[in-house]
Chain A
Amino acid sequence: DVKVTQSSRYLVKRTGEKVFLECVQDMDHENMFWYRQDPGLGLRLIYFSYDVKMKEKGDIPEGYSVSREKKERFSLILESASTNQTSMYLCASTEGSGGPYNEQFFGPGTRLTVL
């Protein structure tokens, strides 16, 4: 089974802190994604990566950056956390071949609270 793990289930940070969210997948997937999930808004794509060191902005990249130094690991960085970044953050991965036909596999999520 594909396993996508995220470094923390719950995180509390203060405004202005730099925050790192880590995601690791164990199935050698090329594509990895970071979403935020908010009630009534569904999942919104922040960034995705289709290869090591390759990244593309999603729909809401402002205030975020990402890093993918190794194929299995995709990090989301909040450069200076703000209260409006309080949310559930979901990581996902999928195979590179086959494009939209492939299922996305999700991690358990990190619930981030910024005070």
Chain B
Amino acid sequence: AQSVSQHNHHVILSEAASLELGCNYSYGGTVNLFWYVQYPGQHLQLLLKYFSGDPLVKGIKGFEAEFIKSKFSFNLRKPSVQWSDTAEYFCAVPGAGSGNTGKLIFGQGTTLQVKP
């Protein structure tokens, strides 16, 4: 069955530190992977997605993620975080039998707190 696991539940960093948030998945079909972000008081929104091709995917606000098939991982990275990156981050994969429904399974989420 499809599943996704995020290792870090709460991460605290200082500004300018590098970020890596872990995501591991279990998925039997064609791999599609997503990271969503929820800034304080805002809607959940898409950060980046991987469907095929270059395993290094770039998203908004300087974020990137690397799909490593052998490790079943899709870790989110940013070389230098800012205070404005404080948010909750969710990794997601398509749900079982999602077909054209776009159904997703989300990980537990990682709360990132960036100290100025």
* A residues adjacent to B (C-beta < 8 A): 4, 30-31, 33, 35, 40-45, 48, 50, 56, 58-59, 90, 92, 94-109
Contacts and interface: CB of A to CB of B under 8 A. Distances in A.
* Chain B interface helix/strand/loop/mixed: loop
Contacts of A100: 32, 94, 98, 102-104
Contacts, number: 74
Kindly name the residue among A56, A105, A106 whose own CB sees the greatest number of chain B CB atoms within 10 A: A106
Interface stretch (B14-22, B39-47, B67-75): B39-47
A107 B103 contact: no
B112 to A, nearest CB: 14
A106 B43 contact: yes
A29 to B, nearest CB: 9
A59 B36 CA distance: 20
B9 A99 contact: no
29 contacts: A4-B43, A30-B100, A31-B101, A31-B103, A40-B109, A42-B6, A42-B106, A43-B106, A45-B95, A45-B104, A50-B100, A58-B103, A59-B105, A92-B44, A96-B101, A98-B100, A99-B94, A99-B98, A99-B99, A99-B100, A100-B32, A100-B98, A100-B104, A101-B32, A104-B36, A104-B104, A105-B43, A106-B43, A106-B44
Contacts of B95: 45
A88 B42 CA distance: 13
Interface string B88-116: 00100011001111111111110000000
